[in-house]
Each structure stands twice: as C-alpha cells, then as structure tokens.
A and B are shown apart, each in its own frame.
Chain A
Amino acid sequence: MATIDVPEQVSVLADAEALRKACKGWGTDEKAIISVLGHRNAVQRKQIRLAYEDLYQEDLIKRLESELSGDFEKAVYRWILDPADRDAVLANVAIKKLSPDHHVIVEISCTRSPEEHLAVRRAYQARFKHSLEEDVAAHTKGDTRKLLVALVSAFRYDGEEINTRVANSEAKILHEAVKDKEFNHEEIIRILSTRSKMQLMATFNRYRDDHGTTITKNLEGDSGDEFLKTLRTTIRCLNDPKKYFEKVLRNSIRRVGTDEDALTRVIVTRAEKDLKDIKELYYKRNSVPLDQAVAKDTAGDYKALLLTLLGKED
C-alpha cells in the first residue's frame, strides 16, 4: 500500500502558482514545495508540470533544479518525474558509475511489472538515445553482463499459471548449479530471466521444500564475487521484493554516513506502491519505526521531504 497522503480535491493551477511563488524572489520556500509536491500522485505531478509550463513558459523541473541543491534537490528531482522516466534516470546513473551499481539495475528490472518495465525501456530510449540493453552491455562484462542484459531484456508472461513439473525440474537444475560452485551460469540465467514471476516463486518454494533452506542461503559466499552478489540480488528481488527493499533501507541507514542515494531511491520509488508494507516489515525486523530511523539519520529539507513521503503528518 502507498504511504503518500493526497488530498481529496486538488487544483493543479493553484499548485503551479504556489510553486511559482515558492521559487520567486530571494531564497526558496522549500516547505511550500514539500507541502505541494509531497502530497501529489504521479498523474497530478505531471499535470502540475504542464500547468506550470503553460502559465510561465518554463520547465518546472529546470526551475527546481536551479533553486535547490544537495540531497534535497536530488530527491525532489526523482520524485517529480514520471515513474518510468525516473527508473530510466536511476538506471542510467547506475550504469554510468565508474563501478556500475549492478544491484540497482537488477532492482529496476525485477521489481517492476512487465508492462512497467517496458515503459522504462521506452523512456530510457527517449531520454538517452540508446536502448537500455545496449548501455548495460557496453558498461558491464563477463557473466554479470550476461545476467544483467538478459534481465533488462525480459518481457515476462504476466499470468498466474504455474507448472509444478517445471518448478520441480528447475529447482533441481538450480540446486545442481548451486551445489557445483562451478555455477552453470547459463542455466541459472536462462531460468531467472525467462520464467514468469509466479513460476519462479513456485520454483523457489520447491527448492526450499526439497532442501530445507532457501536458495539465497546456498548462494552465500565470497562477497568479492560480483556475479554471485548480483545473482543473490536477482533472486531476492524476484522472490520477495518487499523484504529486499526493507533490507536496502536497513543497510542504507545503518551505514556510517547514511547512503542517501539508496534511501531516496527506495522511498521515492515505493511511496506510491508498497512503502506501507515495507514500513511494517522494517518495524518487525528492527523494533524501531522507519520514520524514526530516517528522522534520526537525516536533516533539514531532505528529511522533511522523506518524512512527508513516508506519510508522516506535517
């Protein structure tokens, strides 16, 4: 369930005017920006941008980029974009890093629905004039590259059907591949990148039932092995995305010096989806509400925006 709090009645014209007012003159009224944008869903945010452009012949995003700075600016920028466009931007940032953020690429490919993922591929092309798979292929290597390109290229069947015979045989294949430690990467990649999500969950369950332990536990190992790490992230994202996001949040806060990129990314991308459920998981796991942990670890306008997206009352 979503966490953002959107009022019943919204006037995008009034919103555009309020944002204009917040940006005009000396300094910026960040609180006003948060109180408008922090309480609008994706459709409304898009309409506000159009209204702003209409009224003031200026791109709202560019205006905000020039007025704001730091982690707050990054968060506002990501929040205000269309979800597909946002994912495209996040993917590109992850790819272009000196040491690409493989897990972000996996996260975007595996936790969105097949249709959402297609929209991301389109948005990526529109923005970056390359296909997503091209850029991933050009910036990664080895088996990690094979896995990532396969994941970003996938257009999975979205149905509920499960074939238990296939679940059985593929759980066996995965177990063989994992047991050998000389992982047969081709088979693992094939299964993880072509099967439907329902089918994969059935396979993972079968694996757990047959071997008494989850496949990710069996993959624990050398943290220097990039392929292994990416593989574990893939399985986690496919098997239980909310649990995966809880872990990312937990790690991002726990880290000495918060990992703002990860914190922003998860909160911004899940606020309209399932951040509520993730919050509950977080509390169960850490005995501390997520709001509290975030408030302790962040400051200023950045903190205010995150708390608003988390659904905290102003």
Chain B
Amino acid sequence: IGVDEKSLISILTNSNEEHKRSLWKGSSKLFIEDENGFERWDQSSIKILKHQFNRFRDAVVLSLLHPWERDARLIEKAIRKGPKHYNVIVEMACTRSSDQLLGARKAYHSLFHHSIEEHLVTHIKGRERKLLVALVSAYRYEGPGVNEDVAKSEAQILYEAINNGDKNKLLDHEDAIMILATRSKQHLQALYRHYNQSYDKTLAQDLEGEGILKDTVECLCTPQTYFTRVLEAAVKEDADEESKRALTRVIVTQKEQLVKEGFVPNKIQDILLGLYKDFMLASIASGDVK
C-alpha cells in the first residue's frame, strides 16, 4: 500500500557497494547530505516509511491469522492499551456473527489462559466495564422474527434513559445495558427504526458524544455508518497513526462484508489512493526541506 516493494527488495538485496553509494547520493528524497558531508536518512521520511511498513506488516499478519485468533489478539491488545481503544472491543463484539464471537472467546482461552471477561474486569476499572463485559458475553439469536411491540417499548426505555435521566449515568443504566447486550441484531434494528419514528432523531444522534455507547449502537444497528466513519478518519489529512492502523484492521477484517456492501472497489480504491497520495506528498515535502 503506497510502497514499491519490488524495487525496495532489489535495493535491499543488492550488496554492491557502488550501487548503494549511488543510491544514497541519488535519492535526495530519502537521504540528505548533512554538515559533515555524510549522507544520512531523512528522519521524517524514514518515519513515514516505517509506518507504511508497519501497516503493511500488520495487514499481512492480520490476513494470515485465523479470524478467531486475530480477533482475540485484537481484543487483548485493546484491553492493554486503554480507554482510547475500547471501541475496538465494541467492534469485535458487535460486528461479528454470534459464532465468530464465540470462536474468538475460545481462541482467547487458548492464547491467554483466561476468559475475555476475566481480563476485562481485571484491567478495566472504569464505568465502561459493565457494558464491555456484557457485549463480549453475548450469544445473540440470529434468526428472523421480531416482536415489534417489545422493540417499540424498549426504544422508549432507551429514550427515557438518555433524555430524562442523568446522561452521565447511562453506562450504569441496567435496563439499557440488558437491551443492548442481549437482544438480537434484528430486534435492535427494529428498535432503532421505532426510535427514529417516535422521536424524530436517530438513537445514534441522541448518543452523540457518548463514546462507546454510540459505537455500540452503530455497530449493532448501522455497521456501515461505523465503518465508514473509521475509514474516513483514517484517510483525513491530519489522521493520526491510530486512525491509520484502524484502516488496516477494518479492511482486512471486513473484506467480505465490505465487498457485499459494495464498498470495494470504489470506496476502497479511493481510500488506498488517498493513502498512496499521502505517502507521495510526504516524500515530496521532505525533498523540499532541502
């Protein structure tokens, strides 16, 4: 992605000193002659190159792993890295099928000798813990048949929890958590529709700013919205490294789904072109510094 592997490999494997010297002098984008007449790497270009390679490496590793092991490892990493990464746990728990999530839980046992729930309660002390444990423990029914009356009344429960109660206490609202963590996705999507019809705004809109609660609702009810948001954040001009890593994760783990949704080739191509464009711009910019 944005790196010409073939020429790089030929450069790396060519041990001819003369060749290397000419490379140093020739690639003014990557090498700068400093005060001592010594050509050395341009730091900022190298940083970009490193990140590109890391992302490429991540993409390869993620693609090669069994999906269950892959998801288990992503969850473990997210738990370790802290609150800014909890959305990854939500993503894993809510955008996989019930059996895939179960598989990830099994893989987690084998890899880490604990259940995901155990690690969640050990490492997460904040208020998000309850919701995350509940989401990860779900084995949702995936068949058809939704009780519209129940969906409507549960939409009301959520509405009241958000609008009448203390928004700060939402993560502690037992009924809201039960609904989000135990109901089937079809049921929740019906609930989402009822919410919109009854209150003239979407549940996601009402949860604006509520971090993982909003992520949860989006992942369960409108996953395309969630993934589009993640992908777009990754290709912004000022996207940080985390957002860009998210791109790798989403593209690799959602390949089949993205294809189904008609994402590839249009959107993906746009995104990849965007990344490549970034790389090229950065390379040119560092050349300009000289």
Contacts and interface: CB of A to CB of B under 8 A. Distances in A.
Q: A and B from one assembly?
A: yes
A155 B141 contact: no
Contacts of B121: 190, 194
Given A190-B121, A193-B117, A194-B133, A157 B141 contact: no
A168 interface: no
Contacts of A159: 109, 113
Nearest to A156: B115
Contact of B137 (A134, A146, A154): A154
A196 B115 contact: yes
A131 B121 CA distance: 24
A155 B115 contact: yes
A145 B179 CA distance: 13
Interface in B126-180: 133-134, 137-143, 145, 174, 178
Interface in A91-131: 118, 121-122, 125, 129-131
A121 B98 CA distance: 11
A60 to B, nearest CB: 26
Nearest to A199: B118
Contacts of B181: 133
B114 interface: yes
Contacts of B114: 157, 196
B183 interface: yes
A135 B271 CA distance: 43
Interface centre among A118, A132, A155, A195, by most chain B C-beta atoms within 10 angstroms, is A155
Nearest to B106: A155
Nearest to B174: A146
B143 A155 contact: no
Interface string A226-250: 0000000000000000000000000
B73 to A, nearest CB: 17
B141 A130 contact: yes
A134 B182 contact: yes
Contacts of A132: 139
Contact of B118 (A129, A149, A157, A158): A157
A121 B141 CA distance: 10
B115 A149 contact: no
Contacts of B194: none
B193 to A, nearest CB: 19
A62 to B, nearest CB: 23
B81 to A, nearest CB: 21
B184 interface: yes
Contacts of A196: 114-115, 118
B105 interface: yes
Interface of B: 102, 105-106, 109, 113-115, 117-118, 120-121, 133-134, 137-143, 145, 174, 178, 181-184
Interface of A: 118, 121-122, 125, 129-134, 137, 145-146, 149-150, 153-159, 161, 190, 193-196
Pick the 4 closest A-B CB pairs, nearest first: A153-B137, A194-B117, A134-B182, A137-B178
Given A121-B139, A145-B178, A153-B139, 17 more contacts: A118-B102, A125-B141, A129-B145, A132-B139, A146-B174, A149-B178, A154-B117, A154-B137, A155-B117, A156-B115, A157-B114, A159-B113, A190-B121, A194-B117, A194-B120, A196-B114, A196-B118
17 contacts: A122-B139, A125-B142, A129-B141, A130-B141, A130-B184, A131-B140, A133-B138, A134-B184, A149-B134, A149-B178, A149-B182, A153-B138, A153-B139, A159-B113, A161-B113, A190-B121, A194-B117
